């Protein structure tokens, strides 16, 4: 999986610190990116999933789309 971490997200030396979050083999981010998505009610988008109807994230997406 380390080879799937984008170059700009890799540490200068050593290995990336866990947790590194993936959806299948697609790199989604690290803990800080996940925490930011959680604070913004965007966890499903962060994980590359569709937000279920009635969730805060789905409601926010509906408002943005008009």
Q: All domains of the chain, ordered by start, with CATH? A: 2-7+16-65 (3.40.30.10)
* pLDDT on residue 10: 75
* CA dihedral sign, ordered 41, 47, 53, 59: positive
pLDDT of residue 1: 63
The first and second tokens of residue 19, run together, are 């947790």
Helix and strand element counts for the chain (H, E): 3, 2
Give the alpha-carbon dihedral of 6, 12, 16, 21, to 10 degrees: -30
pLDDT in tens, 1-54: 667 777 777 777 777 677 888 999 898 999 999 999 999 989 999 999 999 998
Do you know the residue count of the chain? 66
3-state secondary structure (DSSP) of residue 27: strand
């Amino acid at each position: 999986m380390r080879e799937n971490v984008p170059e700009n997200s890799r540490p200068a030396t050593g290995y990336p610190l866990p947790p590194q979050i993936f959806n299948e083999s697609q790199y989604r981010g690290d803990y800080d990116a996940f925490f930011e998505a959680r604070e913004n009610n965007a966890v499903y988008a962060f994980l590359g999933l569709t937000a279920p109807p009635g969730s805060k994230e789905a409601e926010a997406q509906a408002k943005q789309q008009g």
